[in-house]
Amino acid sequence: MNAAPPDQTDVVVIGGGPAGLIASLLLDQWQVEHILVEAQAQPGDHPQAHFINCRTMEIFRELEIDGEIRQAAAPLDEWRRYVYGTNLVGLPRSDSSHNAASSALLGQVDHFPSGPDHGISPAWECNLSQHVLVNLLREVAVRRCPGVLLDGWRAEVHENRKGVNVLLKSTTNGQSHNLRCRYVICADGAHSTSRKALGIGRIRRTPTLQDLLNIHFFSPELAKLLRRRLMAMLYFIYAPQGIGVFVTHSLERGEFVLQLPFFPPFENPEDFDQRTCAAMIDHLVGRPVESQIRSIRPWRLEAWVAERFRSRRGRCFLIGDAAHQLLPAGGFGMNAGIADAHNLVWKLARRLKAQRRQGGSDADSLLATYEAERRPVNEALIALSRKNFEKTLEVAAAIGLDWRAARWLRDVLHRLPLPAAARKRIFDTILLLGRKQVHLLQSDNAIGRFRRRRVRALFETSRTLPMRFQREDLGTVYHCGWLQPRADGDRQHRAGGILLPTFEAGARIPHFRLQESGSGERRQISSLDLAPIMGREHGEPIHVLMVFGQAAEPFPELAGQIPTQFEPFKVVHIGNAAGGRWPADFTIADDASPAVSLPRAALLRPDGHLAWVLPRGGPGPSGP
């Protein structure tokens, strides 16, 4: 941005990644004055996350940008599968009905056998590289809130009793500027300088489970090859020369990442130059392919969570990778950060607007519910991502390539009283012998037949890594926070890994289609659209009191029972298509009745979660 930074604003967002950009767009939606500060003058292009889950797409839908994102993303047929094999060139052709005839194919999983499920959401999952998404979100941010984005500035946070001073330092010319604000959203990544400045430490939730290299490369030749084979998001390749996972970021651009495990101190990132990495790409593909390597980056597979998600004085909040680092197995990281922003921003907006109306202290119980709600969710995702990582090892173990044993061997050898060169030779020899297990898998002997049966059993019993996690995605339930106290035993209804929508305090409202009542042209919306629509009409995030059917009779009495903490709220009567005694604002579409019994009334929060529910025949509502 060319203009000088302002001297003060309500909120400063530090970090221009997906979580920070969504926080900015949500603040703009609720007309909150803010500045977004990003240290990089230009965003990076190294691929990171890429899977956008259904709940995130619902948030994009709320911001009315889901269409742009889906247009930029790959079509579903290019990424709906995970494929497991011994090379890429030997995979069956996409038009072949005899996939098992390929000796290179160990198995495949189609995660969308029936396509997107429009019965549970008006949105569905998407595959779009994070660096492409960031550029798209930046374009939207510049278009919708001009002057908000500050590129090429580092931010130092200094919190005090009355607010926060943010010292901005230009990364291009050394210029500095002091900016005063009420609140700060720290979205500056896993190495967050804001978190460190606030004195917030990290709590490790896993050891280092694996060291990996991300090899980012372009290969139109490989993309052309895969278009004729089984197209997939992930290719797990087990070859005599090594194990690797090809991540398809875009077949159209021919953009891929190869993830390779390595084992310090016997292997180090410096050992993998461009020539070595290009040879490994060729080995795993199964033949030489022309590839252009853009970058080679090491990273560690580990998980941690911040000691706190909120500063001691209560004015600074951590979201996304600044608050937690999840394992990548399951694709939760970027989505969790966006969900953090979605949970926090409406609370900040509501608090700021209440301050302007009423004055008073910045301290507010509503803001304390951010950590109370999001921390347990992210802790659960860390635990699930570790289970998912262990699932990724099962196919390798069935082949005879147990990388847990390789890590154990590395640790034992590292402690042996031998010269470093001798220990490395021993490790390399044992690792090479281990990789030869792939030959045994393909051999026609008892060991080969036994291992092939073990591998088939993993796919037949669905014990491989899933792509979709609907219970954690759409079934997230806040058990404490800005909602009615939960009764003992009150829990989300789930069965067999499938989400069963329910009206429950803390849960996301079930999706069902509504049609506006009245004459003339009547809009049709999802139940998920109610809170954003009413909030925009009201000019701020508000709760929506949904009263269903004949329960409209006690309108005044019911509204009078709502605790003042939830004010202002909008009363909306939802009838049925057959009509009724009381006029309805919306009716449930004839063919869209939710697969769940409707309550008498429910209070919908601005973020689409239910604050409390009044069942039919149940007691009156109570406050938080």
Mean pLDDT of the chain: 88
pTM, two decimals, is 0.93
| 130 has pLDDT over 50 | yes
Q: Helices (DSSP H) in 245-364: which residue ranges? A: 274-285, 333-358
pLDDT at residue 405, rounded to an integer:
76
Distance CA 314, CA 585 (A): 39
3-state secondary structure of 386: helix
pLDDT at residue 33, rounded to an integer:
96
Question: Which domains does the chain show, CATH number per domain?
Answer: 8-75+121-205+304-386 (3.50.50.60), 81-114+210-301+400-442 (3.30.9.10), 477-614 (3.40.30.120)
Closest CA relative to residue 337, chosen from 350, 351, 320: 320
pLDDT at residue 223, rounded to an integer:
98
Distance CA 322, CA 16 (A): 12
What would the mean pLDDT of 348-357 be, rounded to a whole number?
Answer: 87
pLDDT at residue 555, rounded to an integer:
60
Asked whether the beta carbons of 599 and 616 are under 8 A apart, the reply is yes
* pLDDT tens digits for range 477-515: 999 899 987 664 445 444 444 567 788 899 999 999 998
* pLDDT tens digits for range 237-269: 999 888 999 999 999 999 999 999 998 888 899
Farthest CA pair distance, the chain: 88
* pLDDT tens digits for range 463-480: 899 999 988 999 999 998
| 188 has pLDDT over 60 | yes
In 1-137, DSSP assigns E strands to 8-14, 34-38, 51-52, 81-85, 105-110, 126-127
What would the mean pLDDT of 21-31 be, rounded to a whole number?
Answer: 97
Asked whether the beta carbons of 94 and 77 are under 8 A apart, the reply is no
For the ranges 98-112, 255-269, 546-560, the maximum mean pLDDT occurs at: 255-269
Distance CA 422, CA 418 (A): 6
* pLDDT tens digits for range 357-397: 775 555 578 999 999 999 999 999 999 999 999 999 899 88
| 624 has pLDDT over 60 | no
- Give 516's pLDDT tier (boundaries 50, 70, 90): confident
The sign of the dihedral angle between the CA atoms of 465, 467, 470, 472 is positive
* pLDDT tens digits for range 594-607: 567 888 889 999 99
Token pair of 128 as six digits:
């779009």
* Helices 333-358 and 365-399: angle between axes, nearest 10 degrees: 180
3-state secondary structure of 303: coil
Closest CA relative to residue 49, chosen from 333, 341, 470: 333
Weakest-pLDDT range from 61-65, 188-192, 577-581: 577-581
Closest CA relative to residue 592, chosen from 488, 514, 537: 514
Question: Where does residue 134 rank: exposed (0-12), middle (13-18), buried (19+ CB within 10 A)?
Answer: buried
Give how far Cα 319 sits from Cα of 18, 328, 618, Å.
11, 17, 37
> Is the bond preceding 583 in cis, omega lying within 30 degrees of 0?
no
Closest CA relative to residue 235, chosen from 47, 129, 107: 107
* pLDDT tens digits for range 286-309: 999 999 999 999 999 999 999 999
